[in-house]
Amino acid sequence: MANVSNPPSPLTSQEGNEAYYPSSDSSRLQALEQLEILPQILQEGILFAGSGATLLLQAAMPAMRQDNPGPEALATELLDALQANISYISCLVFGSPTERKTLLEMLQRGEAPLMGGGRSNRFADHPALQTWMAATLYATSTDFYQRVYGRVDYPTAQRGYNEFTLLMNCLGIPSSSWPSTRQAFWSYWDDQVSRLTVSPDAARFARDIRESKDMPPWVQRLKPFLRSVTIEMLPPQLRDGYGLRSTGSTRFLYRTWMGFSVSVYPAMPTKMRSYPLRFYQDRLREKLNVV
């Protein structure tokens, strides 16, 4: 089964398409109203099962660890940023027009509503770091979606990437940083993965992520399954570097999780499947203060 270092086709198709970067908030809002593919994919809360792999891929980028006091602080920073980005994306895809407009205006002013509370956001002025963080979210979510629902066709993959590019534009990632086509994205991805390294204290970082309490209750309850998914999704060289071994136990838990995901999960009511999404929407809605 493919891991995120080599996503299944047709998402790795070499035929590219033009990036979508509207130049004004009004055109962004209009484009968000016309999303077709991302609402189908992102309504599935099960995609958040890949978040562990996302975080470990992010931390393995050498530049991510520069000027950082240690693995515990990095774990906190990356968890904050991941949950904030999930909340922003949820709002942009599923929020009301007023919520979308309010969020866009706040982001344009540099007022990220979920990065306060005394915790600095050192990623804000580093497009290269922001791009990698967004790339890991795109790669792991599309990978996991296809593991559950099967490979998507080429037009769907192409339109989905264009729509994700629109979200990156809304989140303030410069067009010069985000790959303009899917072909360019996977070339960028392969190059970055080849450069990833884990630091000597990587095992502690992985432990800090696993033991963190800054996660929703439903994530805490699923940690044994999520850990097995993380281990089996990571490229082998990173998995070994983090001290995460693929064992008979982790493979059993992974197969159990995936068996449930493929055979049972799609038949569950949409309300249950989308609970994680609503959780992050509600978390952001409190900060937007929109009536």
Confidence category of residue 5, pLDDT binned at 50, 70, 90: very low
pLDDT in tens, 102-155: 999 998 888 888 865 444 467 777 889 999 999 999 999 888 888 888 888 988
- Contact, 185 vs 50, CB < 8 A? no
Domain borders along the chain are 25-288
**Higher pLDDT residue, 8 or 287?**
287
Q: Provide the pLDDT for residue 74.
A: 85
Q: Provide the pLDDT for residue 89.
A: 92
Q: How far apart are CA 187 and CA 192, in angstroms?
A: 9
Question: Taking 60 as the threshold, does the pLDDT of residue 233 lie above it?
Answer: yes
Predicted model pTM: 0.85
- The CA-atom distances, in angstroms, between 8 and each of 1, 20, 88, 161, 273 are 9, 24, 27, 15, 24
Q: Provide the pLDDT for residue 47.
A: 66
> For residue 101, what are its two tokens?
């407009």
CB atoms within 10 A of CB 223: 15
Residue closest to 232 by CA, chosen among 151, 143, 156: 143
- Across the range 224-241, mean pLDDT stands at 88
> For residue 109, what are its two tokens?
């002013």
Q: What is the dihedral of CA 159, 128, 2, 224, to 10 degrees?
A: -110
Confidence category of residue 69, pLDDT binned at 50, 70, 90: low
pLDDT in tens, 163-212: 999 999 999 898 889 998 999 999 999 999 999 999 888 888 888 888 77
- Contact, 168 vs 134, CB < 8 A? yes
Contacts of 194 (CB under 8 A, 6+ apart): none
